[in-house]
Amino acid sequence: MTDNTTISASGLNLTFQTNDGPVHALKDVNLDINKGDFVSFIGPSGCGKTTFLRCIAGLEAPTGGQISVNGMTPDEARRARAYGYVFQAAGLYPWRTIGGNIKLPLEIMGFSKAEQDERVGRVLDLVDLAGFEKKFPWQLSGGMQQRASIARALAFDADILLMDEPFGALDEIVRDHLNEQLLQLWARTEKTIGFVTHSIPEAVYLSTKIVVMSPRPGRITDVIDSPLPKERPLDIRDSAEFIAVAHRVRDGLRAGHVDD
């Protein structure tokens, strides 16, 4: 752990008690995430990637081990509003306009009216939705709604962004486009991003660090520091380096299965 470490987990365990007995959602997870990293968590269903993200967010309480976010416990970090969280569904309030939805966290956190308006304009620009402030969610496509939900998570300037399969429900073309935009956004805002995904190309394309996980019990099987440059056009996905990283991720996923 260095000064630059934003999120640090050591020996993290989480066991859910269910009617069918205990479920090991996370077992002995060790991971350091540096400031400004783009970290993807990839693995099959039940590998604990979402659970780990929720632990970082203080939405789930680990049953063992240590985890710190910005040097605080996750719950303290949540109270300090240290992160923005993007869920798989956009989850916009249908009774609020796009602008109104983005103002939701700002109202809750007590920003002034003028500040709210200024921030709404700024984050709508960031996600390329300028001019849609007065539209209602049902007037937007699924991809645009998800961009609005990202804007909502960015509005209060937390320096960590946690994203739980944000593009999982969108089609491939929209997804490519949003991936590209997300990288640009990350470059401009220099946030630390935790990103859960099912997709190997998505993980490799976006990340500086790829965390490969496997299920039963949920654990980390490989951590890959990406050799790809920070500047990534979409066609980087045809380069030899990209394919090599994707191979290593696939091998990691397969290794996790052999253990079963």
* Contact assessment for residue 7 and residue 33, using Cβ atoms and an 8 Å cutoff: yes
Nearer to other proteins, 37 or 164 (CB): 164
Q: Least distance (Å) from other proteins to the CB of residue 105?
A: 5
Nearer to other proteins, 81 or 198 (CB): 81
Tokens of 115: 């500040």
Nearer to other proteins, 38 or 83 (CB): 83
Nearer to other proteins, 84 or 215 (CB): 84
Which of 192, 247, 200 has the alpha carbon at shortest distance from 31?
192
Residues that bind other proteins (CB under 8 A): 57-59, 78-79, 81, 83-85, 87-89, 91, 93-97, 104-105, 107-109, 136-138
Q: Least distance (Å) from other proteins to the CB of residue 78?
A: 6
Determine how many CB atoms are found less than 10 A away from the CB of residue 109: 11
Q: Least distance (Å) from other proteins to the CB of residue 136?
A: 4
Residue holding tokens 């790809």? 228
Q: Least distance (Å) from other proteins to the CB of residue 220?
A: 24
Nearer to other proteins, 88 or 181 (CB): 88
Burial (CB count within 10 angstroms: exposed 0-12, middle 13-18, buried 19+), residue 5: middle
Q: Least distance (Å) from other proteins to the CB of residue 194?
A: 13
Q: Least distance (Å) from other proteins to the CB of residue 131?
A: 17
Tokens of 235: 């066609």
Nearer to other proteins, 2 or 18 (CB): 18
